[in-house]
Amino acid sequence: MANNFKSAGVSGVGTSLATASTLYTASTNINSIVIELDIANTSNSAISASVVFEDASANSGSGDTYHIVKNAPLPSGSTLKVISGQKIVLNGDDSIKVYATSTNVDAIISILEDVE
C-alpha cells in the first residue's frame, strides 16, 4: 500500500469553539494519522489558541469534541507545536479544528491518510 501524505493549512481562524476553523476532516470510511500540527501567532500581540478533536462516531449524533490544547498562550510572532512526536488517529469523518482569541493565527497539519 502506498503512503498518502497530505498537508493542509488555514489562516484567520475562528474566535470561539462555535466558530472554530476546520483544519482537516478525515474522509468517510478512511482512517488517517495526524503526524504534526503547528499553530502560529501572526499578530503583534499575545493571544491564546485552542485545538479540538471532533469525534464523528460518538453516540451523541453530532459527535463529541475534545480539546487537544486549550487556551495555550502564544506570544507575538511565536509558534506552538501542538502535535509533534505523538500521533492522533482520525477515523472517517473525524476532524481537527482550531480557534483563538484573535483571528491572526495560521495553522498547518500533516496527515498520513488511508491507513489500516
DSSP-derived letter for residue 79 is E
Q: How far apart are CA 23 and CA 75, in angstroms?
A: 22
Q: Measuring CA to CA, how many Å separate 52 from each of 44, 77, 81, 112, 116?
A: 25, 22, 14, 19, 23
> Domain-by-domain residue ranges, the chain?
4-113
Predicted confidence (pLDDT) at residue 58 exceeds the cutoff of 80: no
75-91 tens-digit pLDDT: 999 999 999 988 999 99
CATH number of this structure's domain 4-113, picked from the four choices 2.160.20, 2.40.50, 3.40.50, 2.60.120: 2.60.120
Predicted confidence (pLDDT) at residue 113 exceeds the cutoff of 60: yes
Grid cell 488555514 is found at 10
What is the residue-averaged pLDDT of the chain?
91
